[in-house]
Amino acid sequence: MAGITFAVIIGIINLLLVLFQVSTGKRWLKVNFIWHRRLGVVLLVTVVIHAILADLGL
Quick one: pLDDT at residue 1? 52
- 46: CB partners within 8 A, 6+ apart: 10, 13, 14, 17
Residue 1 is assigned to a structural domain of this protein? no
Q: With respect to residue 46, please indicate whether it lies within any of the assigned structural domains.
A: yes
How far is residue 3's CA from residue 52's CA, in Å, rounded to a whole number? 19
**How many other C-beta atoms lie within 10 A of the C-beta of residue 25?**
11
Count of structural domains, the chain = 1
List the domain range (segments joined by +) for residue 32.
6-56
Q: What pLDDT is recorded for position 19?
A: 96
Residue 52, in any domain of the structure:
yes
Q: For residue range 14-49, what is the model confidence (pLDDT) as tens digits?
A: 999 999 999 999 999 999 999 999 999 999 999 999
Check if the beta carbon of residue 8 is closer than 8 Å to that of residue 49. Answer: no
